[in-house]
Amino acid sequence: MEDVQVVAMLVRRCIAGDAAAWEEIVQTYNRRIYNICYRFAGSGDDAQDLTQEVFIKMYRTLSSYDAAKGAFVTWVTTITRNLLVDHFRKTKQDRMTDSMDSAASEHEDAQPLSEQIPDQSAPPDTRVRQREVSETVHQALSRLSPELREAVILRDLQDMDYREIATALRVPEGTVKSRINRGRAELARLLQRTYRQVM
Amino acid sequence: MPDRTKNDHTSNGMQCVEFDLLLADVLDGVLSGAGLDRFQAHARTCKTCGPLLAEAEAGRNWLKGLTEVEPPASLVPNILASTTGVDSQRLRTMVRAPQPRVSWWEHVQASFLEPTWALVRQPRFAMSFGMAFFALSVGLTVAGVKVSDLRQISLRPSAIRHTYYNVQARVVRYVDNSRQVLEMQAALRGIKRNMNPAEPGQSKQKERKNDTTQQPEQKQDRNYSQTGERLILAGDPLGPSNRDLPVVSVTTDRRFV
């Protein structure tokens, strides 16, 4: 995923005050962090704010990164996850009134890339249906408990391996696997219920 | 959510806890051989683990359908601005590019005149200006100020002071003599009188305390208006209750002598 030496060099340059190196880090990781934040927080605006916060925290604590302890991406994911958990705790009250039936995300930029690029081959109704399904799954994901959600996001959407997830979440690998299983099953149950209601 | 701790049992040589740990590996396709056979056998027989396998697989398939989202274009510039204080490499190079020389007049025009003119041209501003002009002209007319008189105004300090006192006196007179003010004062007096009816009585009692003559008190402030309003008819037969009434009827406000 990342060349450890290249990343370590980039980090060293950043700490030395090289703005270009920092910009390279931002360009490399902003997409990944934004996606984690978007899937966890559920809204594009929140994801943008949270991504910015993650990078601010990264910038301030970059000197604390130790390449010997783990990959840079794991360190970045850990920071992201911690901020997301903080954000979850802060906005718990607001989310209690949310429901899956609430309006779909109005954030234009939150659309999947595949939907932003016009696809001539797929008919419009198929695209609309895909978009609806995607939005429903996204809404269902945001209804999972944070423990299950973060595990599922890191595994199924970020393709992290169990060891990296265990490091980022600071839990044993067995717990990670169990959470992923439960998260997937819970998501399937929620979606089943939703589609049964629609039918 | 089934309670796996209660339903934990051994089926086909595999416990539910072990099944749970292997489930992720099976879905990832890394389990094979005898281990996979045992797993599948357990899934077929266990009432808890069988549905869990199906649901976890379905959930994973749903999640596979979620594609990566594109971050907003403003994200990277915002991050760079909030961390290093610069917008981006591209913006920095744009700032460093040589700027054409501008004269001081062009600078003033660009920084002050054009924004001001743009503001003035707005209908909202024109409306506000019109209202302010109207209010000013009405105020001057009410105050008796004529534009032609302004030429003859003396700007000596004593003359200004004199004018100030004159205007003040005129305003005070105007306010004091206005009908509304007089009516309001009268109404206030009436309200005050109605609100404190006991006050004259109290003073009267005080006076009586000093009276040592033991004579019945002479009523000084008779309410003639009340007596006057009472209609006394000349032809009215004098009943036992009306024996004290005078014979002559008076319907005016005149005093009885």
Chain A residues lying within 8 Å of B25, measured CB to CB: 177
Residue B32 has pLDDT above 70, yes or no: yes
Chosen for mutation from B17, B66, B69 (greatest number of chain A CBs closer than 10 Å) is B69
**What's chain B's average pLDDT?**
74
Residue B97 has pLDDT above 70, yes or no: no
pLDDT of residue A107: 47
The residues facing B15 across adjacent strands are B10
- Range of weakest confidence among A98-107, B164-173, B174-183: A98-107
- Alpha helices in chain A, H assignment, sequence order: 4-15, 19-41, 44-61, 72-90, 92-95, 113-116, 124-141, 146-152, 162-169, 173-198
* Contact yes or no for B24 and A162 at CB 8 A: yes
pLDDT of residue B67: 84
In percent, the amount of chain B with pLDDT more than 90 equals 11
Distance CA A12, CA A1 (A): 19
Q: What is the DSSP letter of B93?
A: H
Residue B164, H or E segment: helix B157-177
pLDDT-derived band of residue B95, with 50, 70 and 90 as boundaries? Answer: very low
Tell me the average pLDDT across B188-216: 65
Residue B256 has pLDDT above 60, yes or no: no
Q: What is the DSSP letter of A112?
A: B
**Using beta carbons and an 8 Å cutoff, which residues of B are at the interface with A?**
1, 20-21, 23-25, 27, 52, 54-60, 62-76, 78-80, 82-84, 86, 88-89
Give the residue extent of every domain in chain B. 10-64, 104-143
Which chain B residue is nearest to residue A59, measuring alpha carbons?
B83
Token pair of A116, please?
């932003």
Report how far Cα A86 is from the mean position of its chain's Cα atoms: 14
Query: If you count residue pairs, one on A and one on B, with CB atoms under 8 Å apart, how many are there?
Result: 140
CB A35 within 8 A of CB A157: yes
Give the residue extent of every domain in chain A. 1-98
Distance CA B2, CA B19 (A): 14
* Contact yes or no for B58 and A56 at CB 8 A: no
Q: CA end-to-end span of chain B, whole Å? A: 107
pLDDT-derived band of residue B90, with 50, 70 and 90 as boundaries? Answer: very low
Distance from CA of A103 to the nearest CA of B (A): 18
- Helix, strand or coil, per DSSP, at residue B15: strand
Nearest to B67 among A52, A114, A187 (CB): A114
pLDDT in tens, B167-180: 999 998 888 888 88
Residue B137 has pLDDT above 70, yes or no: yes
Is pLDDT larger for residue A187 or for residue B105?
Answer: A187
Distance CA B30, CA B20 (A): 15
Distance CA B168, CA A190 (A): 80
* Contact yes or no for A182 and B1 at CB 8 A: yes
pLDDT-derived band of residue A175, with 50, 70 and 90 as boundaries? Answer: very high
- Range of weakest confidence among A67-81, A126-140, A170-184, B191-205: B191-205
Give the C-alpha distances (Å, rounded to integers) separating A163 from A36, A70, A71, A148.
Answer: 18, 10, 11, 16
pLDDT-derived band of residue B239, with 50, 70 and 90 as boundaries? Answer: very low
Q: What is the DSSP letter of B14?
A: E
The residues facing A128 across adjacent strands are none
pLDDT of residue B220: 54
Distance from CA of A31 to the nearest CA of B (A): 6
Distance CA A75, CA A91 (A): 24
Is pLDDT larger for residue B252 or for residue B86?
Answer: B86
Q: Which of B38, B47, B44, B42 is nearest to B7 (CA)?
A: B47
Tell me the average pLDDT across B202-222: 54
Residue A191 has pLDDT above 60, yes or no: yes
Q: State the DSSP string of A29-55.
A: HHHHHHHHHHHHH--HHHHHHHHHHHH
The single-letter code of the amino acid at B230 is R
Distance CA B207, CA B167 (A): 49
Q: Is the CATH number 3.90.330.10 carried by domain A1-98?
A: no
Residue B229 has pLDDT above 70, yes or no: no
Is pLDDT larger for residue A42 or for residue A116?
Answer: A42
The pTM of the full predicted model, rounded to 2 decimals, is 0.54
Distance CA A195, CA B62 (A): 13
pLDDT in tens, A4-14: 788 888 888 88
* Contact yes or no for A177 and B24 at CB 8 A: yes
pLDDT in tens, B102-118: 677 877 877 778 778 87
**What's chain A's average pLDDT?**
82
Instruction: Please tell me which of A132-136, B82-86, B212-216 the model is most confident about, judged by mean pLDDT.
Output: A132-136
Question: Vertex A61, ends A59 and A67: CA angle to 5°?
Answer: 105
Tell me the average pLDDT across B57-86: 87
Give the C-alpha distances (Å, rounded to integers) separating A2 from A7, A10, A27, A28, A72.
Answer: 7, 12, 14, 10, 8
Other Cβ atoms within 10 Å of B87 Cβ, number: 15
